Amino acid sequence: MIPLSKRLRRQRPMQPPKLNLTAMVDVFVVLLIFLLKSYSAEGNILTTDKGLELPVSTSNLPPQVTLTVTVTQEAIYVEDKKVEEVKTIHESPDLLIPSLAQELKYQVERARFIAGFNPTVKFEGKVTILGDRGLPFLVLEKVMYTCSTTDFQEISLAVFQK
């Protein structure tokens, strides 16, 4: 009878185990195809802040490249520029938000100016509103009203797809 330690050594020589590459490559290829399929070349049209939670909806219309007005719990942004605090809007008795209207007018002028030189770009008056799900309707109504007074007639609301 050979001692146990000797027997083990004889049967299983100490060698590092080999990685089975073929199987791993198979898994990776499947993963790669899946990711390539789900990858959209356009990227995110709408980016959302950390403090912004969009409401969830059953709608599946794709977002378009438009001017964005972001309304978080704290402030209103046109594109990335902060224009007004939500608190002051909530307290004001008027429907029109003057600072937002001013910024939107500037955006309209800029878009028209560009359209004047480049006939492929047209000013269509489209705006996408990204609103936080906890906002009261009053704030949203004021934002929409201000948009409509400054030539933005087509309003879309951004939502998360269910």
Partner 1 sequence: MIILIPFLLLSAVFSRTSILNVYLPETPSGEQKQEKAIHSPGPLLMVSILKDGFVINDGKKVLAALPTVRGQHDFEKLSSMLLKVKERVPQQEEIIILSEPEIRYETIIHTMDASRETSIERDGKKETVSLFPDVSIGEVGEITFREVLQKQ
User: Which residues are near partner 1 by CB under 8 A?
Assistant: 28-29, 31-32, 35-36, 38-40, 43-46, 48, 54-64, 95, 128, 131-138, 140-141, 144-145, 148, 153-161
The minimum distance between CB 160 and partner 1, in angstroms, equals 5
Using the minimum distance from each CB to partner 1, give the nearer residue, 14 or 36.
Answer: 36
Asked if 124 contacts 114 with a C-beta cutoff of 8 angstroms, the reply is: no
The minimum distance between CB 22 and partner 1, in angstroms, equals 14
Using the minimum distance from each CB to partner 1, give the nearer residue, 39 or 117.
Answer: 39
Cα(68)–Cα(45) distance, rounded to whole angstroms? 10
The minimum distance between CB 131 and partner 1, in angstroms, equals 5
The minimum distance between CB 82 and partner 1, in angstroms, equals 20
Cα(158)–Cα(144) distance, rounded to whole angstroms? 13
Cα(137)–Cα(143) distance, rounded to whole angstroms? 10
Tokens of 125: 């008056």
Using the minimum distance from each CB to partner 1, give the nearer residue, 63 or 111.
Answer: 63
Using the minimum distance from each CB to partner 1, give the nearer residue, 79 or 141.
Answer: 141
Q: Please, what's the b/e burial string for 21-59 (b: 16 or more CB within 10 A of its CB; e: otherwise)?
A: eeeeeeeeeeeeeeeeeeeeeeeeebeeeeebebeeeee
